[in-house]
């Protein structure tokens, strides 16, 4: 599928999901709830989102440390500029563009930069699953689950623990490959032989990123930083529960976060539609929240999670004179059957 087709499909999908999201909402009541939201808590949630992006910069610096010393401000700027691209266009192109933006400020090899981004996504998955596992093991079942809720929780516990175990095994193999060149060559050879080319490139990039994690302590430090990062994201959604006066316990933000991550991965610009619908389904289906309140919460949480960082990133692109180059390069790629492009 060409980039142009992906773009059109993403926009059409976003429109369809927004229509589904608003289908049963009383828009006048939603407007009242939005006006009544506690703006102090919304502002505080925006600050936690900004802090989350700074945590990402610190983590990225740690992953790139074997390649050189990078200023946090340069890493943070690259993250924000990449975020603005991902918000404006579908397909998470900002993730591909982020190492290129960093290379404009500091020397970094494209393959190593992209490998570190792939590695970040893996640690994000592990951190989210760790938080979800803690929730499933320790918290009561969501209040709106049916009588089959206990069985649902059992299935979720088993699936979550199985995925965590699989990721742990993959991490052990990755560390071994990073520490031993011969093991790495055998792993890469097997990956390229057994998997499709696109999947093989991602896994090889992952092994490249693992070069910065040659010890168990390095892995543990990045993992702890990743869990702290996603715990800050949980805090953001808890603050927004209070801002919209939704009676969901704080730990309810953990399964909601897991659903929102899945929704944000749907290839629509800025996750529009998918993020909103998943938030609505999670709040109504898991916790019995009123539909109009769930719609208001979805609108506010999406705005807080996406817009402030994207606005700052766009300002940085403008100040750096990169807007025309970035979107001209991306626009050329929209009509081509190519791999993810250079963004600038």
pLDDT band of 95, cuts 50, 70, 90:
confident
Q: What is the pLDDT of residues 265-286, one digit of tens each?
A: 888 888 889 999 999 988 988 8
SS (H, E, C) the chain: CCHHHHHHHHHHHHHHHHHHHHCCCCHHHHHHHHHHCCHHHHHHHHHHHHHHHHHHHHHHHHHHHHHCCCCHHHHHHHHHHHHHHHHHCCCCHHHHHHHHHHHCCCCCCHHHHHHHHHHHHHHHHHHHHHHHHHHHHHCCCCCCCCCCHHHHHHHHHHHHHHHHHHHHHHHHHHHHHHHCHHHHHHHHHHHHHHCCHHHHHHHHHHHHHHHHCCCHHHHHHHHHHHHHHHHHHHHHHHHHHHHCCCCCCHHHHHHHHHHHHHHHCCCCHHHCCHHHHHHHHHHHHHHCCCHHHHHHHHHHHHHHHHHHHHHHHHHHHHHCCCHHHHHHHHHHHHCCCCCCCCCC
| Sequence ranges of the domains in the chain | 3-334
- Report the pLDDT value the prediction gives residue 140, as an integer from 0 to 100: 77
- Report the pLDDT value the prediction gives residue 328, as an integer from 0 to 100: 57
Whole-structure pTM value: 0.81
Q: What is the pLDDT of residues 171-220, one digit of tens each?
A: 666 666 656 666 666 766 766 666 666 555 656 655 655 555 666 777 88
């Amino acid at each position: 599928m060409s980039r142009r087709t992906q773009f059109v499909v993403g926009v059409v999908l976003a429109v369809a999901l927004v229509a589904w999201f608003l289908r049963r909402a009383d828009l006048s009541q939603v407007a009242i709830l939005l006006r009544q939201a506690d703006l102090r808590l919304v502002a505080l949630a925006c600050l936690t989102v900004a802090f989350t992006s700074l945590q990402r910069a610190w983590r990225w610096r740690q992953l790139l440390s074997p390649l050189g010393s990078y200023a946090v401000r340069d890493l943070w700027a690259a993250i924000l500029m990449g975020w603005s691209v991902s918000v404006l266009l579908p397909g998470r192109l900002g993730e591909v563009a982020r190492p290129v933006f960093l290379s404009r400020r500091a020397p970094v090899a494209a393959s190593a930069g992209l490998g570190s981004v792939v590695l970040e996504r893996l640690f994000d998955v592990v951190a989210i699953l760790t938080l979800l596992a803690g929730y499933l093991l320790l918290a009561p079942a969501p209040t709106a689950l049916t009588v089959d809720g206990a069985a649902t929780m059992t299935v979720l516990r088993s699936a979550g623990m199985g995925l965590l175990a699989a990721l742990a095994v993959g991490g052990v193999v990755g560390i071994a490959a990073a520490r031993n060149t011969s093991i790495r060559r055998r792993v890469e050879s097997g990956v390229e032989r057994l998997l499709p080319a696109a999947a093989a490139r991602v896994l090889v990039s992952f092994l490249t990123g693992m070069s910065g994690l040659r010890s168990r302590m390095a892995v543990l430090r990045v993992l702890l930083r990743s869990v702290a990062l996603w715990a800050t994201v949980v805090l953001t959604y808890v603050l927004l529960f209070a801002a919209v006066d939704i009676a969901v316990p704080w730990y309810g933000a953990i399964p909601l976060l897991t659903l929102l991550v899945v929704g944000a991965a749907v290839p629509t610009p800025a996750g529009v539609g998918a993020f909103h619908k998943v938030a609505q389904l999670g709040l109504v289906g898991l916790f019995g929240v009123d539909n109009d309140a769930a719609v208001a919460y979805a609108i506010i949480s999406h705005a807080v999670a996406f817009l402030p960082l994207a606005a700052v990133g766009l300002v940085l692109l403008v100040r750096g004179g990169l807007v025309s180059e970035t979107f001209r390069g991306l626009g050329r790629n929209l009509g081509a059957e190519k791999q993810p492009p250079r963004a600038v």
